[in-house]
């Protein structure tokens, strides 16, 4: 169903790429220390063989097939193999709880799933008595006492090509392509129903926002089960960009040096880590070199990407700062980046200005799984507005409700939540998706996200507190790793503070050496550390009205994590869970 090289179903992207760019490696991944390149024809051969195995095992159009894996080449083979027989990919995070696996598998009525590793295989097998429809589990990795996914290829050898082609040709653009279960900060996961048309409309919109052409290089390291990374990778296929699959976050620095990517996606937490490493390098310098580094950073902090406030004198300073310091930041990310797209949450404006001044082309965007997911982005061709998520993408309409809630309409909007008409009716009204996010327009049609509607709370005096801007300002401090603003119906706003232990240790070594010798928990509970962190909070408070200012803090010794159920797989805080876990500390702030 390719129409003039225009794909109508997601799996058409691979056939189109073979037709337009036959010599282009579709993928590359690391094996035995070397990058192995995979041609589009090889990819299609593998997907077709796997599709035949699924057919032989009885997978029919509309059936849901589970895929539980971190980012790897095989993920995409499996995804396309499922889709091109009319089945539905249920892409699941590999780091959720057993209870969530049980709920998702039963809700989607999954009969067959493919997982990546031995540990995941064992987890799913241990749940088999409580997953009522599951009949087959396969593993991508090879290990004893398991079904290997390549066995599906053997199983399907006798399925004729014409049977597969007939199923492929029967798939309609309006058919369901995937179920993506939202991680959710509250309640049970909800299955977002997205069609081929939903996602491809987003791919075409993303292409217009991407400056790259065919034969460029992309590096992917975010999980493709996330709607954001998945749609972006589909866009790479559409453009004709080779997708290099990173070995994992622990190897990302080395992979960047080897691949020298032209484009990659990131989440704020990763960019903050990159920035922290840059700043650590600078703070280790001494004398003239340290003064030069600090000066260059101060110049970068004033950078205006629109150019409106960059005077002639400033531009001269910036040229020197780049030559002496800032260009090294760009080189550390491979030196050939044209685009870094950041999404999932807001990135500190200060970090964006410094990275842009260092010629690291970072563009913030905004999306929701329910919108396939892209809604708005800072277009390279229109210029970046720091602190905003840019302009609506092509085909997407945005309006703000009376209370500031962002409403979205377009071909990318989901069909609804699977088997959940009540939840669907709450967010889909007269064709508009009610996002639950609060926004405002800046500088014309640049959208700024203020906060989640459900996360805004009122203190007892009647004033509203919007947590996200306060939290973003707090974590600008080199001594604060994470922050969560609390105080619903209380007299004032307070905050849970997770310190940056490493930076605080360095500070203590310089100022109170004996303090630095204490065990971590004793160190973090010391009056000196409390006082130092409170100074950082007071600096942040200057940016907010009196009623918004943080009056008390509780220092927490360990980072919020996915494993402890405090963060979603996309690193959003589960505020209710965190508050429940630290109820004693919360109550102590209001004694």
| Secondary structure, 3-state, 56-84 | HCCCCCCCEEEEECCCCHHHHHHHHHHHC
Give the closest residue to 40 by CA, choosing from 65, 52, 23: 23
pLDDT tens figures, 406-446 = 999 999 999 999 999 999 999 999 999 999 899 999 988 99
pLDDT band with cut points at 50, 70 and 90 for residue 382: confident
Among 85-99, 234-248, 270-284, the minimum mean pLDDT is found in 270-284
Separation of CA 178 from chain center: 18
Q: Which of 110-119, 481-490, 558-567 reaches the highest mean pLDDT?
A: 110-119
In our burial notation (b when 16+ CB lie closer than 10 A, e otherwise), range 256-272 reads beebebbbbbbbbbbbb
pLDDT band with cut points at 50, 70 and 90 for residue 224: very high
Q: Hey, what CATH class is 11-171+212-242 in?
A: alpha beta
- Tracing tokens 């290099």 back to the chain, one arrives at 244
Q: Which of 41-50, 269-278, 453-462 reaches the highest mean pLDDT?
A: 41-50
User: Residue range 34-52: average pLDDT?
Assistant: 97
pLDDT tens figures, 190-207 = 999 999 999 999 999 999
**Cα-Cα-Cα-Cα dihedral sign, residues 29, 34, 39, 45:** negative
Contact between residue 344 and residue 377 where contact means Cβ atoms under 8 Å apart: no
pLDDT tens figures, 324-365 = 999 988 888 889 999 998 876 677 888 899 999 999 889 999
Residue range(s) occupied by CATH 3.30.300.30 in the chain: 457-589
pLDDT band with cut points at 50, 70 and 90 for residue 2: low
Structure-block tokens of residue 490 = 């209380």
pLDDT band with cut points at 50, 70 and 90 for residue 4: low
81, pLDDT greater than 80: yes
How many CA atoms lie less than 13 Å away from 180 in the CB half-sphere?
27
3-state secondary structure of 139: strand
310, pLDDT greater than 60: yes
pLDDT band with cut points at 50, 70 and 90 for residue 186: low
Contact between residue 257 and residue 230 where contact means Cβ atoms under 8 Å apart: no
DSSP 348: P
180, pLDDT greater than 70: yes
The reported pTM is: 0.85
Among 197-206, 221-230, 445-454, the minimum mean pLDDT is found in 445-454
HEC assignment per residue over 427-496: HEECCEEEEEEEEEEECCCEEEEEEEHHHCEECCCCCEECHHHHHHHHCCCCCEEEEEEECCCCCCEEEE
3-state secondary structure of 403: coil
pLDDT band with cut points at 50, 70 and 90 for residue 159: very high
Separation of CA 238 from chain center: 21
The predicted pLDDT at position 79 comes to 98
User: Residue range 15-42: average pLDDT?
Assistant: 95
The predicted pLDDT at position 233 comes to 97
Round to whole Å and give the CA distance between 211 and 214: 10
Q: Who has greater pLDDT, 119 or 281? A: 119
Average pLDDT across the chain, whole number: 92
How many CA atoms lie less than 13 Å away from 463 in the CB half-sphere?
15
The predicted pLDDT at position 344 comes to 66
The predicted pLDDT at position 369 comes to 93
How many CA atoms lie less than 13 Å away from 23 in the CB half-sphere?
1
User: Residue range 381-402: average pLDDT?
Assistant: 92
User: Residue range 235-245: average pLDDT?
Assistant: 97
Residue range(s) occupied by CATH 3.40.50.12780 in the chain: 11-171+212-242
Separation of CA 424 from chain center: 24
CATH superfamily of 457-589: ANL, C-terminal domain (3.30.300.30)
Structure-block tokens of residue 304 = 């205006």
Give helix 501-511 / helix 527-541 axis angle, nearest 10°.
110
The predicted pLDDT at position 187 comes to 67
């Amino acid at each position: 169903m390719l129409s003039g090289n225009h794909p109508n179903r997601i799996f058409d992207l691979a056939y189109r790429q073979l037709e337009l760019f036959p010599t282009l490696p579709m993928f590359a991944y690391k094996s035995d220390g070397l990058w192995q390149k995979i041609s589009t024809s090889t990819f299609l051969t593998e997907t077709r063989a796997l599709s035949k195995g699924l057919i032989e095992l009885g997978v029919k159009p509309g059936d849901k097939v589970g895929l539980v894996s971190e980012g790897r080449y095989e993920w995409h083979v499996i995804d396309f193999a499922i889709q091109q027989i009319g089945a539905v990919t249920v892409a699941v995070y590999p780091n959720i709880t057993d209870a969530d696996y049980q709920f998702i598998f039963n809700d989607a009525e999954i009969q067959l799933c493919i997982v990546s590793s031995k540990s995941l295989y064992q987890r799913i097998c241990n749940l088999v008595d409580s997953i009522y429809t599951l009949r087959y589990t396969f593993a991508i990795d090879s290990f004893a006492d398991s079904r290997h996914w390549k066995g599906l290829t053997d199983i399907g050898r006798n399925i004729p090509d014409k049977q597969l082609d007939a199923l492929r040709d029967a798939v309609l653009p309006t058919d369901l392509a995937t179920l993506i279960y939202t991680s959710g900060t509250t309640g049970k996961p909800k299955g977002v129903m997205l069609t081929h048309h939903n996602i491809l409309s987003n791919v075409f919109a993303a292409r217009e926002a991407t400056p790259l052409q065919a034969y460029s290089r992309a590096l992917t390291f975010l999980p493709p089960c996330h709607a954001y990374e998945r749609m972006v990778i589909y866009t790479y296929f559409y453009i004709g960009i080779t997708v290099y699959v990173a070995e994992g976050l622990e190897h990302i620095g080395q992979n960047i040096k080897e691949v020298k990517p032209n484009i990659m996606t990131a989440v704020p937490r990763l960019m903050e880590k990159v920035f922290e490493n840059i700043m650590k390098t600078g703070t280790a310098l001494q004398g003239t070199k340290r003064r030069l580094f600090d000066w260059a950073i101060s110049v970068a902090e004033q950078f205006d990407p629109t150019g409106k406030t960059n005077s002639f004198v400033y531009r001269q300073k910036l040229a020197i700062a780049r030559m002496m310091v800032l260009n090294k930041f760009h080189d550390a990310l491979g030196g050939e980046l044209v685009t870094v797209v950041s999404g999932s949450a807001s990135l500190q404006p200060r970090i964006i200005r410094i990275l842009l001044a260092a010629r690291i082309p970072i563009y913030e965007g905004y999306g929701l799984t329910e919108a396939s997911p892209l809604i708005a982005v800072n277009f390279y061709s229109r210029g970046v507005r720091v602190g905003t998520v840019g302009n609506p993408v092509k085909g997407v309409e945005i309006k703000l409700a009376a209370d500031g809630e962002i409403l979205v309409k377009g071909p990318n909007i989901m069909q609804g939540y699977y088997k959940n008409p009540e939840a669907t009716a709450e967010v889909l009204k007269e064709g508009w998706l009610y996002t639950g996010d609060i926004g405002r327009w800046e500088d014309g049609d640049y959208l700024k996200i203020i906060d989640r509607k459900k996360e805004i709370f009122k203190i007892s005096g009647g004033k509203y507190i919007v947590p996200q801007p306060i939290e973003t300002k707090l974590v600008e401090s080199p001594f604060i790793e994470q922050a969560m603003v609390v105080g619903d119906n209380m007299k004032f706003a307070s905050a849970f503070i997770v310190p940056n232990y490493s930076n605080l240790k360095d500070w203590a070594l310089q100022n109170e050496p004996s303090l630095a010798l204490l065990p971590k928990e004793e160190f973090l509970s010391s009056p000196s550390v409390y006082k130092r962190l409170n100074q950082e909070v007071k600096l942040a408070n200057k940016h907010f009205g009196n009623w918004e200012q943080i009056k008390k803090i509780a220092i927490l010794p360990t980072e919020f994590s996915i494993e402890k159920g405090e963060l979603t797989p996309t690193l959003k805080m589960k505020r209710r869970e965190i508050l429940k876990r630290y109820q004693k500390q919360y109550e102590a702030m209001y004694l």
